[in-house]
Amino acid sequence: MNVTVAICAFSLARWDLLVASVESVLPQLIDDDECLLVIDHNDRLAELTQAQFAGRQGVRVVASTHQPGISGVRNMAVEHARGDAVAFLDDDAAANPGWLARIRAALAEPDVYGVGTAAVPAWPAGSRPLWFPPEFDWVVGCTYLGMPTAPAQVRNVIGAAMAFRREAFAMAGTFSPAVGRVGTAATGCEETEFCIRIARLKPGARIMYLPDVAVTHRVAPERASVRYFLRRCRGEGRSKAWVARLAGAAQGLSSERAYVASVLPRGVLREVGRGLRGRGSGWFAALLIILGVASTGYGFVLARLTGDRRGFGVAEPAPTLPASLH
């Protein structure tokens, strides 16, 4: 099975990280694999990327003509990918050794249609802020406390490091433009809705999470802040409302109910215990878990009441690939 590793980029501010991301992938390519760089409506970035990787075997650069945002640029990647599978790596993430080989092996199983790997945060100060609860590492696009610690079937993967068989796109279409981040907006969940769609259309298809292999996901300084934490939680609530609208509340919120009911209460108790032992950051972390839930809930309710953004109030059909790509 040959694989296209798609790295989607939109900002010159991440240039050094983008180069590092590509360089982490190239040694892992074999046979007819490729690294496809898709640039999201940034002509200067496209020019620099073309120049930087001109002549590098296995690297191609395309400029997205789809609507701006992560769903559009990923759909552009799917259309241009030559691989039997498409792996997506964020432009601020670097693949650890063995990442692509582990994905390839997992997708070789005939009933596995999608794979996600761990995403380990690289904090700007070199260590986690004392107030940042690990149950909320999804805020910075990383594996969070409460996810499986051994390979397991999951509802959905994390977008920073994931892969799908090409048949998944031929069957289920592409990422919905009704969800997904545009620029620096604190929204997402396009991969969640897509995974749910696969499960609905292909009973028995498995989406696997592999915690034994990882990417290193750089956390920008502005994201290691309480302000961003709460904004991202609110954005996640909005995104979950769109997913529930597109996929139904039963599937769209199944994992979240278990997370709120069991994972987060344990986190609050742990942080309160830290506070009682004289660590003041424990009290603050416990408060942030509570505020994070409240902020997410606020975003969800607000989106449900207002029909917030991009046709939320109208059920949209699953996007499809051109017939030539099936």
Q: What's the CATH code of the domain at 200?
A: 3.90.550.10
For residues 190 and 70, the answer to whether their CB atoms sit within 8 Å is yes
Position 87 in a domain: yes
The pairing of beta strand 85-90 with beta strand 152-153: unpaired
Q: Which residues pair with 122 in a beta bridge?
A: 218
Q: Count of domains in the chain?
A: 1
Domain coverage including residue 52: 3-223
Position 38 in a domain: yes
Position 228 in a domain: no
For residues 318 and 175, the answer to whether their CB atoms sit within 8 Å is no
Q: Which residues pair with 37 in a beta bridge?
A: 7, 61
Provide the CA 24 distance to its chain's centre, in angstroms. Answer: 18
Position 218 in a domain: yes
pLDDT in tens, the chain (326 residues): 999 999 999 999 999 999 999 999 999 999 999 999 999 999 999 999 999 999 899 999 999 999 888 889 999 999 999 999 999 999 999 999 999 999 999 999 999 999 999 999 999 989 999 999 999 999 999 999 999 999 999 999 999 999 999 999 999 999 887 665 554 454 567 888 899 999 999 999 999 999 999 999 999 999 999 999 999 999 888 888 877 777 676 665 778 888 999 999 999 999 999 999 998 899 999 999 999 999 999 998 988 887 654 433 333 334 444 444 44
**Hey, how many other C-beta atoms are within 10 angstroms of the C-beta on 79?**
18
Position 138 in a domain: yes
Position 238 in a domain: no
Position 256 in a domain: no
100 Cβ neighbours under 8 A, 6+ residues apart: 3, 5, 25, 28, 29, 33, 87
Write out the H or E segment, with its range, that includes residue 136: none
Residue 167 — φ and ψ, nearest 5°? -60, -25
Q: Which two tokens stand for residue 146?
A: 């409460």
Position 36 in a domain: yes
Please give the sequence-ordered ranges of beta strands (E in DSSP) within the chain, or none if there are none: 3-9, 34-39, 59-63, 85-90, 93-95, 112-122, 152-153, 161-165, 206-218
Rounded distance between C-alpha atoms, residue 95 and residue 88, angstroms: 11
